[in-house]
Structures are given as structure tokens and as C-alpha cells.
Structure 1
Amino acid sequence: MSTVNSEFSPLRIGPIELASPVVLAPMAGITNMAFRRLCREYGGGLYVSEMITSRALVERTRVSMKLIEHHPSENIRSIQLYGVDPKTVREAVTMLVAEGRADHIDLNFGCPVPKVTRKGGGAALPWKCEHFRQIVSGAVKAAGDIPLTIKMRKGIDPAHLTYLEAGRIAEDAGVAAVALHGRTASEFYSGKADWSAIAKLKETVTSVPVLGNGDIWSGEDGPRMMRETGCDGVVVGRGCLGRPWLFGDLEAAFRGEEHRIQPTLGGVATALRRHTVLLAEFLDDEAHACRDIRKHIAWYFKGYPIGGDTRRRLALVESLAEMDEILGELDHDAPYPGADAEGPRGRAGTPKRPALPDGWLDSRDLDEQGQRDVAAAETENSGG
């Protein structure tokens, strides 16, 4: 039985059918096996790995091989790759397919981080349209029957938009879906996502699903984006930080239910502890897990009345026993705080001029200097 009401259709990405048309966006240091498992316990969707560097995967670095691990319960193994060299990306895809490590592969063309765009990668790469075409077409061919998708941004800045042309190129190359974050690289995560761009892409790319990304903060936002843009599914990023139950909230909204998931403070404490336990299993190290969970503390308790001292103590926990002691002191019956717990989380950044290789915007073609830049980008990002 479908989990969506008649207004929405299940999302199909190649042979993969998702009753809940929701995708977890890859986020560095966040969407590891532990977090993916936690989110799946709350609701359905497609849960994508952290971004993995293609060269690191080809070199089989320890970090990259760890990042592509999936738990037996993950029935759809989804991996996102980053790369700037067509040959290296193709080799990475070939490896994943040949070794039966993935059921879905996504390519990253949306990262706005300066260390990536400075070498012509991420959101900067689609500007070089023929180079972009070579990477995508080669990856699609290497993927064979495994559906390959792309995720991108509107472009570099308002004067250098790439998403419509990139969408057409990707569609012609045979991708299974195209996802668009409604911001440019120059916007980083600031301001408001431009959902109208998602609608324009949906009008342009007609033979494969178009997924919308940007400002999905609540269950209601998923159906609203699909109604306003006509997109086929939504991609959730920062909205689920410290809120893994958002996937259950979205699933309920797509079913047409009025009930929303609004956990008490006790529910948040349960989620936080479960997250830490899953991290300990993934990392095989409880102390490491307790250090890793620290960055999530502020997100989990955003808006909840627990006090600065308690927050600081939780941000310094070194064991599950210590965490249990602190969580036991909380008022587990404290209700959901409403709007104070919702909305943007994580660093939004401020609009700024993107870091790009010298002369990158002078031409849509990749010249000799550009080729050297992307070669350097592959080398510098080979650690995983």
C-alpha cells in the first residue's frame, strides 16, 4: 500500500520506487551509516551517504572504504561521489558497480565550499558544460543498470546560472533523476531558497524526475514544495539536523495526515541517545561516538528549555553512562516548543563571491590551465 495520498505519486528513480518521495541530502560528517539508520527508523525515503571523493575511492583509502559501508538493514545502498576528472569518476562508478556496493549513485555538482569550487569542482563545474557532459555521460555508461543521478545548484552566482543547461545535458546523458538546490554557490545557505527555479527546471527536464532541495524545515514544506513547483520529490538537508523525526513528519504529511511529530524533551533525549549508540556501533568506539555526537547537541535541543550549563555538559560527554546521567536530569515531559525548535539550523553563511580558479568564468570551455586546476583538485581531495 502506498504511503502517499492520491495527490502525490511514489517517486521512481530508475528501478527504485519510493512510496515516500523524500531523499536525505548528503552532508559531510553527518550522513554516515549511524545517522541514516536513525532517520530510517522514523520514516521512509532514500538515504544517501556522505560525499565521497572519487579518487579516494579508486585509491581505496581507509576513510573512503569506511564511508561506503552500509548496514544490512539498508535495503537501498545509496552513495554520492564527488569528482572533477571524467576518467576518475568513471573508474569510481565502475568499482562500485563491479563490486556490488551500490544500488544508487549520485554525483555532486552542488557543493559551494571554497576549497572545492576554488579548483573548479562542485557548484563551479557545470559552468564548463562540455566537461560536465563528459563526466556525467561517462558515469552513466559505467553505472549500467544502476540508476545514476546528479545534484546541483542554480549556478555560480546570479550572473552565471547553469542549472537549466546542466539539466538538459544530464537528461540527454541518461541520468535517472536531477536534484536542484534553489540557491547559487555565492549564496551558500543564506537567504531563502528559490523554489521558482525548481519549477523552471521541471518545465525543462521532462523525461526523468526532478527533485527539489532547499528550505524543507517541516512536514508541511514537502507537499507545499511539490505543489508549488511540480517537482517529483524533495531533498532534505539541514532541516533534519537534530531532527531525524522530520522524515516521519514528512511521511505523515504526504499521507495527508494532520498529526505532526512534535517530540517532548524526553523524545529528543531518546533520539539523541539512540544516535550515539548507533555511532558507537558504526565507529566501534564509544568514546569516539561521544565526541562525534557533540556537534549535534545544539541542533537536537534547539528551542527546548534545558539551560546553558546542561548544554555545555552534554557537549563534553565522554561516555554513554555520563550521557545517561545528564539526560536523566531533564524534564522529559517538557512539551514541544513549537516554532523555537524549527526553522534554519547549521551555519547559513553569508552571500559572497565564490572562490574559483583564475579565469574560470572567461569561457565555458576547459582550457589547459583549467585542466591543470581540475587535476590538482583530484589530487588534493584524494584523502576521502
Structure 2
Amino acid sequence: MRIGTVDVPSQLALAPMAGVTDAAFRRICAEQGAGYTVTELISSRALCYHDKKTFSLLRQFPGEHPAAVQIFGSDPACMAEAAQIALEASGADIIDINMGCPMGKVVNNGDGAALMRDPERAGRIVEAVVRAVPVPVTAKFRRGWDMGSCNCVEFAQILEQAGVSAVAVHGRTRAQVYGGQADWNCIRQVKEAVSVPVFANGDIWKPEDAVRILRHTGADGAMIGRGCFGNPWIFRQAAAALAGKPIPPLPPLAERCDTAVRQFELAAEIKGERVAVLEARRHYCWYLKGVPHSGYYKEQIVQMNTLEDVCRVTRGIKRDLK
């Protein structure tokens, strides 16, 4: 597909997720077939205040193209300034606007999914950002705020008129957060209502789901979120499914562990060993999801503090959990 002036070589995208899609994990997913990657959501206010920790979230892995930086906020002027700062600091191909985050600390400030209750403001934000940067601007949002206000179709039309080059739609309301089931019908309705490319997001847990969601919605791309936790190989498998080819099996456990370790080492190069290993505790448990008898090693994982701890635990897993 084509997002504005940017060619996207695959129908498979990695969804932006706070605390998950850092440069290290995006790199691993891209190597496995994610054709489009987006940063964690980044505060526009923090960028405008030039917060050093926030700037680290803008870092991209070598050769990350096409790539998007996602920012969130509710003040058009601040969002426009933040978009300029983010683009200059990252060299990203696309600026994405988060209008779907359901978490309280975001929506309580009027940001994220709260913008679905104020479509006119959302439109003004898009207009301001589009004017501020020379790259395509996209937006990610939800079915609606709650079941009484499922306004994603009208919302998408307002954003298209304001100048977005593509949209991503999560088939849940803000009230659902991540519970219940995603409604793919609303994504189809958005696709039928706008002319810009549409990414379908929600409940892509296995490679066949990518085929199903694209067939059901008619969307241009499938954006995979929680289904890739500890499983970047879902992109390679989904690509095979979309091509009508046999779905390759997961690599052996030892190879999956090596990939996890590489991810953590890449993260340590960017954010330091201490922070990277603390974050690795959660990721490594995801890599072991469904592995029989892995409980003992998960207890070890949540106590890791150094990369040597990571390697020690990995040696044990390879030895005992073949």
C-alpha cells in the first residue's frame, strides 16, 4: 500500500504499544516480516519540554523504513510543535497520532481515546500536525468511547477531511479497554467510508487471523498488537498465510530463547543494562508462554538484574526445557 508519499511493502504492521515496541523489539519484528513499525506512544508535552528520557523513545533501529513515530496529546499547537521535534530527532517517515489509548492516565488529560468524545478537536489536531510537517500524518483510534457512542466511521471521515493519509482502527471501545471481543464490522464500515488506507487492529492472535481480518474488513493492512508478545514469528507466519503458503512452525525453543536474548542485548545498548533487564523480565515470560514446565524459570526471570542473569537463566531453559 501507499501512505501518502510512503510505500509500505507489506500488509503486516506492528502496532504501537507502550512499554513493548521499543527499537529493539521493533527490529526483531521487522526481521520476521513486520513491514511497518511504529514507536511507543510519546507525550507531546514531554517533547515540547525537551525531556531527555522521552527523546530516547524516538530512537530508531538501523534501516528502520518505513517507520512512524506516534505522539499523543490534545492541544493542537503543542501537537504540531511535538511533531516537528519528533520528525527532526528521529528522521521518521510518518507521524502517527494516538487517539485510541484507553488508559486512565492518558484519557484523564483529554488525550488518547478521550479525543473520540471530541471529534472536532481531533480534526483540529490533525490539521495542525499536517501543516507542521512535510511527511504523511496518520491516526489510530477505536470503535468509540463506549457502546453508546460507536462513532468510528464519522470520526474517520472527519480525520480524512482534516488531512490524514491513513488510519488504524482497533475494534474495541475505550470502555472495553482490552477485554471482550474486537468488532471487525466497524473496521469494515470505516474502510467503506474513507478513501485513505485502513489498518485493521484487534484480536489477531494467530497467523490465520490476519487473513480473516483482512477478508472480513477489506482493510489494506493488518496491525498486530498483543498477538506478537513473545512471538515475533507471527509476522513471518501471517505473511505465509496471506500468500497461501504453508505456515512455518515456530522455531525450536532454544532458537526462540536466543532471539529473546538478542532483543534484550539490543535494548541494553540503547537504554542501559539495568533498565533493559528490568523490562526483559516481562518480555521473557511472554517468550515462554505455553512452554510446559516453565514455571520454575519464570520465577527466575522475574528476579533477573543483569545480562549475565539473562544468560544464566537461558542456559538452564535450554538444558531443561527442550
Identity, in percent, stands at 40
Q: 1:97 to 1:294 in 2, by over 3 A?
A: closer
Amino acid at match of 1:94: Q
Question: Deviations for 1:247-279, whole angstroms, at most 9, x for unmatched residues?
Answer: 212222222211324222212211211111111
Aligned to 2:9: 19
Amino acid at match of 1:75: H
Q: Per the alignment, in what secondary structure is the counterpart of residue 306 of structure 1?
A: coil
Q: 1:278 to 1:312 in 2, by over 3 A?
A: same
2:304 equivalent to 1:317: yes
- The TM-score normalised by the length of structure 2 is 0.94
For 2:278 and 2:286, the matched residues in 1 are separated by: 15
C-alpha deviation, 1:61, in angstroms: 0.6
Contact preservation (8 Å) 1:306, 1:330: no
For 2:151 and 2:255, the matched residues in 1 are separated by: 43
Aligned to 2:121: 131
- Equivalent positions of 1:357-368 (< 5 A) are none
Aligned to 2:266: 278
Contact preservation (8 Å) 2:145, 2:175: yes
Aligned to 1:293: 280
Aligned length: 322
User: What's the RMSD between the two structures over aligned residues?
Assistant: 1.8
* Residue of structure 1 aligned with 2:94, choices 100, 104, 124: 104
* Residue of structure 1 aligned with 2:26, choices 21, 27, 36: 36
Aligned to 1:216: 204
C-alpha deviation, 1:334, in angstroms: 6.1
* Residue of structure 2 aligned with 1:195, choices 184, 193, 202: 184
Q: Quick one: higher RCO (CA 8 Å, sep 6+), 1 or 2?
A: 1
Question: Deviations for 1:60-96, whole angstroms, at most 9, x for unmatched residues?
Answer: 1111211111122213331000010011011112333
C-alpha deviation, 1:114, in angstroms: 1.4
* Residue of structure 2 aligned with 1:237, choices 225, 239, 243: 225
Amino acid at match of 1:287: R
- The TM-score normalised by the length of structure 1 is 0.80
For 2:319 and 2:4, the matched residues in 1 are separated by: 44
Aligned to 1:227: 215
- Equivalent positions of 1:1-384 (< 5 A) are 11-97=1-87, 101-144=91-134, 146-205=135-194, 207-283=195-271, 285-331=272-318
Structure of larger gyration radius: 1
Runs of 5+ unmatched residues, structure 1: 1-10, 336-384
Contact preservation (8 Å) 1:20, 1:254: no
Contact preservation (8 Å) 1:294, 1:315: yes
Q: Per the alignment, in what secondary structure is the counterpart of residue 141 of structure 2?
A: strand
Contact preservation (8 Å) 2:47, 2:86: no
Larger CA deviation: 96-105 vs 38-47: 96-105
Contact preservation (8 Å) 2:87, 2:95: no
C-alpha deviation, 1:295, in angstroms: 1.3
Q: 1:98 to 1:311 in 2, by over 3 A?
A: closer
Amino acid at match of 1:124: A
For 1:292 and 1:99, the matched residues in 2 are separated by: 24
